[in-house]
Amino acid sequence: MLLKQIKPSQEQMVELMSYPKNTPVVMVNIIKFKEKTEAGDETGKEAYSRYYKNTLAFVANAKAKLIWKGAIVTTVVGDSGNQPDMIFLVEYPSVDHFLGVITSPEYQKISKDRTIALEYGGLMACQTLE
């Protein structure tokens, strides 16, 4: 079962900040949309599409790049009754580049669309293995 978590805890942010400096990080996004936003005037997918479009400039300015994005077709192993809708990977030059995006006041203004759109918004920081 997917946890209903959208934002990181304080402990998770502290752990992220201990990531090795000047080391690329791949952020794995695991997304499950709400059927409808609380206002009920749009789907979670529609609200997230707006958020995603509005974040592209922030990602580009952080010198990050989308590595892969895809929709879930079927779950082979796991809870197929509660599978996510989408997974995508974004590589940042460092955690500081990622933190620069999510802490900027301009980003904070558009991040509400992510919150209203998602049932679950998993985000995992991954280091490439050699």
Q: Where are the domains of the chain?
A: 19-126
Query: What are the tens digits of pLDDT across the range 2-33?
Result: 556 888 989 999 999 999 999 999 999 999 99
Q: What is the DSSP string of the chain?
A: ------S--HHHHHHHHTSPTT--EEEEEEEEE-SS-TTSSS-HHHHHHHHHHHHHHHHHHTT-EEEEEEE----SSS-GGG--SEEEEEEES-HHHHHHHHTSHHHHHHTHHHHHHEEEEEEEEE----
Query: What are the tens digits of pLDDT across the range 37-70?
Result: 989 899 999 999 999 999 999 999 999 999 999 9
The answer to whether 16 touches 126, Cβ cutoff 8 Å, is no
Query: What are the tens digits of pLDDT across the range 62-93?
Result: 999 999 999 999 999 988 888 999 999 999 99
Q: Measured on CA atoms in the order 67, 31, 35, 7, is the torsion positive or negative?
A: negative
pTM for the structure as a whole? 0.90
CATH class of 19-126: alpha beta
